[in-house]
Amino acid sequence: MSTTLAPAELHARSADDTLVVDVRGPGEYAAGHVPGAVNVPAEHLDALLPDLRDAAQRRRLVVVCAAGVRSAAACATLAEAGIDAVGLAGGTQAWTAEGLPVDTAAHEGRTVWAMDRQVRFAAGSLVLLGLALGRRAPKGRLVAAGVASGLVYSGLSNTCGMAAVLGRLPFNRPRPGALDVARAELRA
């Protein structure tokens, strides 16, 4: 059995027999998600395992993230708990690249940037800060060098420490009661 589903395959499936679980943070989810997806941030997956297990008995679970890395990790966590799930190959990036529809939602009354955009903004700002500091104190350039090294490591490892840090900011965290909403959607 395949561990991933292509975007076109997911798009062709019925919502009656498929449940899409988006494991990105609320800000990323609000910026654009597969229509009908339930937002269960990866760090809260364990709290909803019983509900996910029940949902998996009624429908096929398809786990989605931005590019497929977090959804693969989430599928492994679910498999360890005895829950059958597949990932969306290429995540929402592949979904949108194929021109498939996405839903967006204002997060707490405002539009939130996608995580990759937040990372680009933060990294660029830190590089500029390091270069500006370096004009007065040459060691200030170490800030820019540190960010550059982190970006190289991120590219090589396909992980992103800056995204992990940004994900902990208030606008990227679930609002109170969000897990109760997800739990209700899983039980529907």
Q: What domains sit in the chain, N to C, each tagged with a CATH number? A: 4-111+173-187 (3.40.250.10), 115-166 (no CATH)
For residue 171, the number of C-alpha atoms closer than 13 Å in the C-beta half-sphere is 16
160: annotated active-site residue: no
Name the catalytic one among 30, 31, 63, 65: 65
The whole-model pTM stands at: 0.74
CA-nearest of 30, 40, 101 to 74 is: 40
Q: Is 18 exposed, middle or buried (0-12, 13-18, 19+ CB in 10 A)?
A: middle
Split the chain (188 residues) into runs of 10 and give each run's mean pLDDT.
Answer: 85 89 88 92 91 94 92 94 95 95 72 79 94 92 93 86 83 72 85
Residue 2: its pLDDT value, please? Answer: 59
